[in-house]
A and B are shown apart, each in its own frame.
Chain A
Amino acid sequence: MKYIYSIIKADYLQRTRSYAFLVTLAITVYVAYLFVPLPTANYTTLSMPGYKGAFNSAWVGYVSAMMTTIMLSLYGFFLINTGIKKDIDTEVGLIVATTPITNLGYLLSKMLSNFLVLLTILGITFVVSIAMFFVRGSGYPFIIGDFVVPYILFALPSLFFVSAMAIAAEVFLRDKLILQCIAFIFFFGVVIGGTKGLPDSNTTVLMDVFGVKTLTGSIKNQVNTQYHAHIDDISMGFIFSGHKKPYQTFVWNGVAFSNIFLLSRLLWLVCGLAVVYLSSFFFHRFDFKQAVRSKKIKNKETDGQLKEAVVYKEPATISLKALPKLVPDYGIVPFIKTELLLLIRKGSKWLWLVIAGIWVGMIFAPLDIAYGIMLPVIWFLQVTRWSELATKEKTNQLHYFTYSSYKPLQRMLPAQILAGVIVAVVLALPIIVRCGIAQNNYAVFNIINGAIFIVLLAICLGIVSGGKKLYEILFFMITYALVEKLFIADYLGAVPHNSHIMYIAIILGLNTFLAITSFTVRNHQARHL
C-alpha cells in the first residue's frame, strides 16, 4: 500500500506543478464565481421558466455543488485522461513495467491521482461558493452542512467514477484522444439525457451517476408545491436570458436524501473500482507502443537489410568543401509545407475519413446546421493538431534548433499560424463557398476571422502555458457551448448578434491580443532556455 501512496503522490505533484494547472485553477475560481448567480442576474445556471431560488445557503451550496459536479465531470475528464500517456511519452512507463507493481496497483494509483487532481479543483469551487455566499450576503443564515453534504454526496462519487472512466479510456482506447472524447461525451450525454427522460423511480436514482435527477426533482417539487405550478423540466448550464423577465422567488432548503440515493452513491464508487479492476486485465503495461513500433521496424528493417545486402558499401566521408553549395533562402514557404505535413500526419487515418464525411456533409446539409453545428465540430476534431502547433518543438525537444535558427520569430511563428489557418479554412470551404454564393460576405468574413481566432488561441495558450491541455479543454467547452447556441462562445458568427460591427471588432481585437501575446512571450522564450 505504501508504494501506491508514493506513486499517487509523485503523479499528483507532477501534474499539478505546472503553469497550465495554475491557469486552470484561476479559471476555476472565475467559473465557480459564476456558478450561483443572484436572482437579479441576467443568466441562470439552473433554469425554470418564471422561478428563481432564494439565495440561501442550501441554494448556493447545492447548486454550486451540482454545477461543479457536471462541469468538472465533463471538462475534468479531458484534464486527466493522459496520465498513462504521460508515462509512455516520458518512458517512465518502461521503468514501471519492470517493477513488481501489479497492473491493478498501477492503474488504481493512477485513478486515485486523477481523483486527487479533480478534488483539488473541487476544493477551490467549494471555498469560492462559501465566499460567494458571504460576499453576496442575502440575509439568510449560513449553514455549513448545506455546502459540505452536496459536495460529498454529489461531487465525490461522480468525480471518482469519472477518474476511473479516464483510466478505462486510456487502457481501451490508448492514445486515441479524439475517440476518447467522443466516447466520454456519448457516455455523458446518455447519463444526463437518459436519466432526465426516465420516470422517478429507485432504478432511475441508482442509474443517475451525477445525481441530477434527485436534485432537480427536489427543486421541482418545492416550486410546484409552493406555487401550485406544473414545472416538468429544469435545465442546467449557463443560460442567458438577454433581458430581465419577471420571476417569482421560492425558498428551497435542500434535498431530503433517500436511502436508495445514498446507496447509489456507494454503488458508483464501487463501479469506479470495478472499472479499474476490469481495465487491469487489458492494460498493455507499456508493451503497446514498443510492440507496434518493433513490428513496423522489423518489417522495414527486413526490407532494408535485403537491400543493404545487395548494395552495401562503406559510408562516404564528408567534406564540407565537396558538398553542393546552397543559397540563402529566408522564406517561410518551406516551414508552412512542413507544418502542413505534420498537421496532416498527426492522428490516425480513420479520423480523416470521419472529417471527410463531415466535410462532404457540409455541402448538402441545411446551411444553419452545417454552419452552426458541423463546422464547429469539424474544427474541434483538429484539437489535437492545433494544440500542438506551438508546443511540439518543446515536446519533441526540437526547440534547440528552432530557437537558434535565423529569425525564428519572424519566420517560424507566422508559418505555424498560417498552416493552422489554412487547415481551418480548407475544412470550412463548403460553408465559405455556400455563404459566398448567397453573397453573405459577413459570414465569410466571420468564418475566416474565427479560423484565425481558434488557431491563434491554440498558439497563444500553447506558448503561455507550455502545454496542450488548457487549449484542448477550452476548445471543447467553446465548441460545446457554441453547438448549444450560446452566443458568448460564438467565435465564427454562427449565432445572431445585435451589432455586426461590434462582433467583428471583438473577434479582431481578440486576435490582435492573442497574436501580440504569442509573439512577445515566444520572443522571450527563444532567448531564455
Chain B
Amino acid sequence: MSLVIKNLTKQYNKEKTGLSDYSITIEKGILGLLGPNGAGKSTLMKIIATISKPTRGTLFLDGQDIVNNPDYIRRIMGYLPQDFGVYPNLNAYEFLEYIAALKGVGGAGLRKRIDMLLEGVNLTADAKRPIGSYSGGMKQRIGIAQALLNDPKVLIFDEPTVGLDPEERVRFRQLISDLADDCIIILSSHIVSDIETIADEVAIMKNGMLLDKAIQPEIIGHVDGKVFETMLENSDLHAFKAKHLIINTTRQKEKTKVRYITKTPESETASTPVSATLEDAYLFLTHNNA
C-alpha cells in the first residue's frame, strides 16, 4: 500500500499558499510531519482526507486517483482533525454509531467494537454521558476512537496528543505503534518527542514545502557533530544568541546552560559536543531554510 503525492499545490488566494509543488511517497508505517505553524501540515492532511481539493497536483492511493475519486480512500480512512467537535447532546455510544454510519460500516459487531474501542481509550465509565460534558482530553480520546472505527488502512492524525495527559500520551503512542504494521499512518505534532518516539520516517515542512523526508537517523545526520552545550554568564547570553542557533537554555543561578548548533564551537567558551536529537535537526533545518 502506498500513497503517492506529486507536485501538489494549494493556493488559497494570490497571497496565501498552503502547499507549493509538494511531492512525497508514503508507505506503510508511521510518517511524522514536523513543521512550524503555517508550514502546510494541516493543509496536506485535509487534502489527503479529501475535504480540500488541491489547486494542482495528483494523489494516488494504490494507483487510484483520490482527488477525482475521493470515496476510494474514504471507506478505508480514519481521520482525526486538529479542531474537531462533537454533537454535545449525544453520548459516546450514539456519537460513535453516528460516525460508523458516516463511514458506511455497521453490522452485528458494531456495538461490541464500540465497547472495545471505548475501553481502549478509557471512556467506558463515561460512555453514557452527553459528550458536551466531557473534558478536552476525553473529547480527544473519543476522537481517537472514532478514527479506528472502520478498520482503517490510512490513518491521519493532526495534533492527536493535544489535551492528553502524560499517561494518555504514552498510551496513544503505544496504540499507534501497534497499528503501524498494517496501515499508513500520518501524524503531525508540535511535540517533537511524540514523533521521535514512534515515527518510522519524518517529513519536515516549511512554507508549504518539503524540506526533507527520511528515516530519523538520516534526518539527525544533518546536525551530527554540530550540537554543543556550554555554560554562559547570563549577561553574555544575548550576544551569544545573536551568533548561534540556540536549541535550549536552562537557567542555573547566575549562569545559563545553553544547547546550540554550530559548525565551529566558540573557542573561548568551554563547549562540549553532545548527541544530536530530532529536535536539534528539526530546528536546524527549519532555521536554515528561513
Q: Which residues of A contact B (CB under 8 A)?
A: 293, 296-297, 300, 304, 307-308, 315-331, 334-335, 338, 341-342, 345-346, 392, 396-408, 412, 526-529
Contacts and interface: CB of A to CB of B under 8 A. Distances in A.
B87 A297 contact: no
Q: How large is the interface on B (under 10, 10 to 19, 20 to 34, 35 or more residues)?
A: 35 or more
A342 B106 contact: no
B104 to A, nearest CB: 4
B208 interface: no
Interface string B83-118: 111111110001001111111111111101100110
B102 A326 contact: no
A400 B79 contact: yes
A382 to B, nearest CB: 16
B53 interface: yes
A400 B178 contact: no
Nearest to A324: B109
A404 B71 CA distance: 9
Given A401-B79, A405-B74, A527-B50, A316 B90 contact: no
Interface stretch (B122-130, B188-196, B238-246): B122-130
Given A318-B148, A326-B113, A396 B87 contact: yes
Nearest to B115: A324
A404 B147 CA distance: 12
Contacts of B133: 293, 296-297, 300
A408 B50 CA distance: 12
A326 B150 contact: yes
A392 B50 contact: no
A148 B79 CA distance: 58
Given A297-B133, A320-B182, A527-B52, A326 B100 contact: yes
A317 B120 CA distance: 5
Nearest to B152: A320
Contacts, number: 159
Contact of B102 (A308, A318, A406): A406
B151 interface: yes
B109 A397 contact: no
Contact of A527 (B51, B106, B120, B152): B51
Given A318-B175, A396-B85, A407 B71 contact: yes
B85 A397 contact: yes
A406 B74 contact: yes
B178 A318 contact: yes
B61 interface: no
A313 B122 CA distance: 10
Contacts of B83: 397, 400
Contacts of B103: 405-406
17 contacts: A293-B132, A307-B125, A316-B116, A326-B105, A326-B107, A326-B109, A329-B104, A334-B97, A338-B94, A398-B86, A400-B83, A404-B50, A404-B79, A405-B104, A406-B71, A407-B71, A528-B52
